[in-house]
């Protein structure tokens, strides 16, 4: 049997996203969506998966895979896709659409966005048999339940060369009002870009967390403790990247403020001179100027697919927060080592720790 995607790829998009554009036909080239109004995270996912096909092989979109169920429609589809064997469902968690006769894969893009993990869990409860029919899952190692046992479709890691980083995203010092997240957001929005430090910090914790992780009580406690430790150590610093899927800038800053307010720590109020936030990932060179030793703190659902390999390799070690029971441990660990490198540790959020939104 041929390797995945070597004959091209057929891609389906969430119905809600595809409703924003007018498909030219039932099956069409992915290039036809180049000017379509898609969310940035879906655009990244589409580009990532489409580029899996070797040069010269078809990169196609199927508008409504649910149409192809009987012999006649499947025969038409097979003729239209010209020998493509692999279908990738780009899923927001609400549905996973399958195409009979093809190898079906799923890419849960931007699963760190609030609401999407809950949608996936509802789908698992209502239609667990869907996941049994998957050939693989892309960039996740999720575990599902079927008739009392846990299973996980094979994991495939797909990582691009990395989107071009913002040449100089502004770093701003984070300010916290201990009594009001709203006032914390207002203070952060009013902050001017922080000047570069006169000398690199000795240690840097780089927080790259999804919106879902920021709403986890267990993660909030760990992050707040990390911030509190940095505030009493002048040789340490923290850079916090605003979660991409949390809306506009005030909402994205609010996600950070809510996390710190819910973390249970006794943080001082006011501006924090060595705790910074930024709208976009820093490139390797400014990271090097900021600190000599860097640790990446991330989570199981933070999107790594568009991180350049040299960016991930610039960290001395990586800690990944993950909810136990949601992943297949060995498969998940192999995925993380493949993406982040060997010095990667999973900090399991145990079942007895509080869950849910803060």
pLDDT at position 168 is 65
* Residue 356: burial class (beta carbons within 10 Å; 0-12, 13-18, 19+): exposed
Q: Are residues 245 and 107 in the same domain?
A: no
Report how far residue 96's alpha carbon sits from residue 84's, in angstroms, rounded to the nearest whole number: 19
How many domains does the structure of the chain reveal?
Answer: 2
Report how far residue 282's alpha carbon sits from residue 164's, in angstroms, rounded to the nearest whole number: 10
SS3 category, 62: strand
H or E segment to which residue 286 belongs: helix 284-290
| Contact yes or no for 20/37 (Cβ under 8 A) | yes
Q: In the sheet that 136-138 helps form, which strands lie side by side, from edge to edge?
A: 27-29, 59-62, 9-12, 86-91, 103-108, 136-138, 154-156
* Domain boundary pick from 121, 156, 191: 156
Is the pLDDT at 356 greater than 50, yes or no?
A: no
Is the pLDDT at 171 greater than 70, yes or no?
A: yes
Q: Are residues 136 and 179 in the same domain?
A: no
Report the pLDDT averaged over residues 22-45. Answer: 91
Over the stretch 133-161, which tens digit does the pLDDT of each residue have? 999 999 999 999 988 889 999 999 998 77
| Contact yes or no for 108/326 (Cβ under 8 A) | no
Report the pLDDT averaged over residues 234-240. Answer: 95
Residue 165 lies in a domain: no
Give 236's pLDDT tier (boundaries 50, 70, 90).
very high
Q: Are residues 198 and 123 in the same domain?
A: no
Residue 50 lies in a domain: yes
Q: Average per-residue pLDDT in the chain?
A: 89
Task: Count CB neighbours of 255 within 10 A.
Answer: 24
Expressed as residue numbers, the domain containing 273 is 172-349
Report the pLDDT averaged over residues 36-42. Answer: 89
Q: Are residues 18 and 52 in the same domain?
A: yes
Q: Are residues 198 and 340 in the same domain?
A: yes
Instruction: Taking the CA atoms of 284, 286, 291 and 292 in sequence, report the sign of the dihedral they define.
Output: positive
Residue 222 lies in a domain: yes
Q: Are residues 229 and 151 in the same domain?
A: no
Give 272's pLDDT tier (boundaries 50, 70, 90).
confident
Q: Are residues 103 and 182 in the same domain?
A: no
Report how far residue 8's alpha carbon sits from residue 194's, in angstroms, rounded to the nearest whole number: 47
Is the pLDDT at 164 greater than 60, yes or no?
A: no
pLDDT at position 122 is 95
pLDDT at position 166 is 59
Residue 103 lies in a domain: yes
Q: Are residues 134 and 253 in the same domain?
A: no
Report the pLDDT averaged over residues 277-300. Answer: 93
Selected residue with higher pLDDT from 48 and 23: 48
Q: Are residues 151 and 25 in the same domain?
A: yes
Q: Are residues 192 and 55 in the same domain?
A: no
Rg (C-alpha) for the chain, rounded Å, is 22
Domain CATH for 203: 3.40.50
Q: Are residues 177 and 140 in the same domain?
A: no
Compute φ and ψ for 333, nearest 5 degrees.
-65, -40
Q: Are residues 60 and 145 in the same domain?
A: yes
| Contact yes or no for 8/51 (Cβ under 8 A) | no
Lowest mean pLDDT among 5-19, 47-61, 174-188: 174-188
Report the pLDDT averaged over residues 262-277. Answer: 80
> Of all residues in the chain, what percent carry a pLDDT higher than 90?
64
* Domain boundary pick from 129, 156, 183: 156
Give 358's pLDDT tier (boundaries 50, 70, 90).
very low
Give 355's pLDDT tier (boundaries 50, 70, 90).
very low
Contacts of 57 (CB under 8 A, 6+ apart): 5, 6, 7, 8, 9, 84
> Of all residues in the chain, what percent carry a pLDDT higher than 70?
94
Over the stretch 83-113, which tens digit does the pLDDT of each residue have? 999 999 999 999 999 999 999 999 999 999 9
């Amino acid at each position: 049997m041929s390797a995945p995607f070597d004959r091209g790829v057929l891609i389906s998009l969430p119905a809600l996203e595809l409703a924003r554009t007018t498909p030219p036909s039932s099956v069409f080239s992915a290039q036809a969506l180049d000017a379509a109004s898609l969310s940035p995270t879906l655009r990244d996912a589409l580009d990532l998966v489409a580029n899996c096909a070797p040069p010269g092989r078809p990169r196609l979109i199927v508008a409504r895979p649910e149409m192809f169920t009987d012999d006649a429609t499947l025969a038409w589809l097979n003729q239209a896709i010209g020998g493509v064997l692999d279908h990738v469902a780009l899923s927001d968690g609400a549905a996973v659409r399958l195409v009979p006769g093809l190898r079906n894969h799923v890419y849960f893009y931007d699963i760190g966005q609030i609401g999407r993990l809950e949608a996936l869990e509802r789908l698992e409860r209502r239609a667990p048999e869907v996941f049994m029919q998957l050939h693989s899952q892309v960039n996740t190692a999720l575990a599902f339940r079927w008739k009392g046992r846990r299973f996980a479709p094979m994991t495939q890691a797909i990582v691009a060369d990395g989107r071009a980083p913002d040449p100089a995203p502004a770093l701003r010092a984070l300010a916290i009002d201990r009594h009001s997240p709203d006032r914390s957001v207002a203070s952060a929005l009013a902050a001017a870009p922080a000047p570069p430090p006169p000398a690199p910090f000795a240690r840097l914790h780089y927080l790259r967390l999804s919106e879902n992780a920021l709403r986890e009580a267990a993660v909030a406690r760990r992050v707040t403790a990390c911030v509190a430790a940095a505030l009493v150590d002048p040789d340490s610093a923290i850079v916090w990247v605003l979660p991409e899927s949390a809306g506009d800038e005030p909402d994205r800053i609010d996600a950070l403020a809510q996390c710190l307010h819910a973390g249970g720590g006794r943080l001082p109020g006011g501006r924090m001179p060595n705790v910074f936030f930024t709208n976009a990932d820093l490139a390797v060179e400014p990271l090097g100027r900021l600190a000599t030793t860097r640790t990446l703190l991330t989570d199981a659902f933070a999107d790594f697919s568009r991180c350049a390999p040299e960016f991930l390799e610039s960290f001395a070690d990586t800690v990944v927060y993950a909810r136990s029971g949601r992943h297949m441990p060995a498969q998940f660990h192999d995925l993380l080592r493949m993406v982040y490198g060997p010095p990667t540790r999973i900090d399991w959020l145990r079942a007895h720790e509080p869950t849910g939104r803060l």
